[in-house]
Amino acid sequence: MEQYCMYLRKSRADREAEQRGEMETLSRHEAALLALAARNHHPITKIYREVVSGETIAARPCMQELLSEVEAGIWTGVYVMEVERLARGDTIDQGVVSRAFRLSSTLIITPIKTYHPDNEFDEEYFEFGLFMSRREYATIKRRLQRGRDASVREGKYIGNRTPYGYYREKIPHDKGFRLVPDPDQADVVRNIYKWYCNGIPADGVSPTTFGMAKIRDRLNGLGIPAATGGPWTISSVSGILQNPVYTGKIRHNYRPAEKSLSGGVITVRRPRNGSGDLYDGLHEAIISQESFDMVQDFMKNRKLPSIPYKKKMANPLSGIVRCSVCGKVMIRRPYQSGRQCTLMCQTAHCATVASDLDDVEREILNGLAEWLKDYKLQWNIPDSADSSPAVSMLQTQLVQKRKEEERLQSQLDNTYDLLEQGIYTKDVFLTRNKMVVEKLEDVHISINSLEKEIVLEQKRLQAKIDVIPKVENILDVYWTLPDAKSKNDLLKSVLDKVIYTKSGRNGPHRKVHYTFALDLYPRLPKSP
């Protein structure tokens, strides 16, 4: 049975057109392609709507799903407004798209032309279209970058996030934006610089020791929200103290994107590039250049000596235990006095109380032993994954949905027959056709969901079989392992996380009575 789908994606020109008030792009393209499919008597059983902007296939989840189904030979043809909508990235991505359609003999149907991958001339035409699309994309990127560079040199603000202390304003009778001081936030910025340089007149507070942590506490104590709307952190205070935008400058190329290829996957890093490129901005300065330079000198002199990084892991619970109050990963705290290490929350002034690391580690192992005991009692593990009642029930539902799919497909075929016989007018045909196609699409979504649930349930059952010997092995060998890294790897193989709760401190005579609670989350497949 022939099956056709539709792939919709917005281009940059489409977004610019929508900003000018033109019709929503995806709806317009969908209507045009549905009409084309109706003329071709091709039932559209699935529609992919790509709403994210991504340069590569890795950044476009709908495209990834479409390509996997094309490679599996599910689709007879794919409707798309232009071949350029499929891939505008580099030659590797375009080669992946071209190969998937060619090997599966899947048609690419556009309002202008239908591409037959088995036809060498169509194949050349298709690849030439992708080549021209890539050139056009590179040209657009160069033009946009030149425009951004020119705007920065003119003093305009091009960032997506407005720095704290300012709001963004459209420049009258010109393109672009400029920064305008926010009266309330600008006073906060001035106070941050004043406090860092001079301190706050208060008993017991020395101006030379008033650092970022105390500024953070002061702002949070006054109930002033940070730029994110939440509490202030040391990094948010540091970001304000090091940002030259408050002196009337525009900072550009401060964190340029650096792409690298690792394991066939493109990763993007944005390392800091010193102070970047500075230009005179169109906005009013909040801080004088002298105050800014003074802060930079203070920060340089206050920097602590760097401590050599120890590559050897010392915390066997690293990345596993989380605080129940703030959700942050808890860290190991060593003591120079010889006292044994504790496990503490890294959030300043968090209400969670620390405990000895050895005690937490021992209780996690005890908790795993108790959990395993209950786990064995609760689960009646079948001989094979396929014999589960849950799998049988899902497979029964899948059979019913496939019967419903056949019935709807028959109805869809009848709409074309009734149109050809003159019983349906064009408007009635489009209405009925769209109704049946929408029902078919819902059925296909249900079928895909059921198939995924069946696979997941089978994996879950297999995990029930595998997890018992794995946990038993951990309980047997854990205390014999030579280092923290080995213990950490073993715990992470069976635990997603552990939630730690402790609100009160142990008294000096109650050391053996642990007042903390642990919630263990075993590593099992999650529900769909």
pLDDT at residue 406 tops 70 = yes
Domain that holds residue 188: 166-302
User: What does the alpha-carbon distance between residue 368 and residue 491 come to, in Å, rounded to a whole number?
Assistant: 10
Number of separate domains in the chain: 3
Q: Is residue 478 in a domain?
A: yes
Q: What is the mean pLDDT of the chain?
A: 80
Helix (H), strand (E) counts: the chain: 13, 17
H or E element that contains 5: strand 4-9
- What are the tens digits of pLDDT across the range 356-388? 999 999 999 999 999 888 877 765 544 444 445
* Same-domain check for residues 272 and 345: no
Sign of CA dihedral 351, 355, 360, 361: positive
Q: Do residues 95 and 222 both lie within one domain?
A: no
Query: Which amino acid is it at 99?
Result: R
Residue 501 belongs to a domain? yes
Q: Are residues 295 and 315 in the same domain?
A: no
One domain, residues 414 and 360: yes
Residue 385: the pLDDT is 43
The residue from 153, 182, 207 where one domain ends is 153
3-state SS string for 14-43: HHHHHHCCCCCHHHHHHHHHHHHHHHHCCC
**23 and 58, same domain (yes or no):** yes
Instruction: Let me know whether 363 and 384 are in one domain.
Output: yes
Flag whether 160 is in a domain. no
The conformation of residue 411, written as its DSSP 8-state character, comes to H
One domain, residues 270 and 322: no
At residue 277, the 3 state secondary structure works out as strand
Kindly report which listed range (195-204, 208-217, 427-436, 492-501) carries the lowest average pLDDT score: 195-204
- Single pTM value for the model: 0.51
Query: What's the rounded mean pLDDT across residues 425-445?
Result: 81
- As a whole number of angstroms, the distance between CA 390 and CA 25 comes to 43
- Residue 349 vs residue 477, higher pLDDT: 477
* Domain end residue (candidates: 302, 326, 342): 302
11 and 52 part of one domain: yes
Judge if 380 and 296 occupy the same domain: no
Strongest mean pLDDT among 83-97, 438-452, 501-515:
438-452
Question: Tens digits of per-residue pLDDT, 228-266?
Answer: 888 888 889 989 998 999 999 988 887 777 766 555 556
